[in-house]
Amino acid sequence: MKKYLFLFISLGTLIGCQSPSTESTTPETATTTAENTDTLRLEGESRLANLRQLTFGGDNAEAYFSFDDKNLVFQATNPKWGAECDQIYVMSRDGYTGDQPPLLSTGKGRTTCSYFMPGDSTILYASTHLGNDNCPEAPRTVNGKYVWPIFPEFDIFEADLDGNIVRQLTHEPGYDAEATVSPDGKKIVFTSTRSGDLELYTMNIDGSNLKQVTDGLGYDGGAFFSPDSKKLVFRASRPKTEAEIKTYKDFLAQHLVQPTNMEIYVCNVDGSELQQVTDLGGANWAPFFHPSGQKIVFSSNHKSIGKGRPRFNLFMINLDGTGLEQITFDPVFDAFPMFSYDGKYLVFSSNRNNGGTRDTNLFIAEWQE
Average confidence score pLDDT of the chain: 91
- One-character DSSP codes across 284-313: EEEEEE-TTSSEEEEEE-GGGTTSSS--BE
Quick one: average pLDDT of 359-367?
Answer: 98
DSSP 331: S
Quick one: average pLDDT of 6-22?
Answer: 37
- Cut 0.85: pTM above it: yes
Q: Which pLDDT band, with edges at 50, 70 and 90, does 320 fall under?
A: very high
CA distance 66 to 69: 5
Residue-level pLDDT at 13: 37
What is the CATH superfamily name and number for domain 9-367?
TolB, C-terminal domain (2.120.10.30)
Closest to 291 in 3D by CA, of 349, 365, 246, 345: 345
CA distance 120 to 206: 15
Boundaries of every domain in the chain: 9-367
DSSP 5: B
Task: Output helix, strand, coil percentages for the chain, rounded to the nearest 5.
Answer: 5, 40, 50
Q: Is the confidence at residue 273, as pLDDT, over 60?
A: yes
CA angle at 59 for the pair 143 and 295, rounded to the nearest 5°: 90
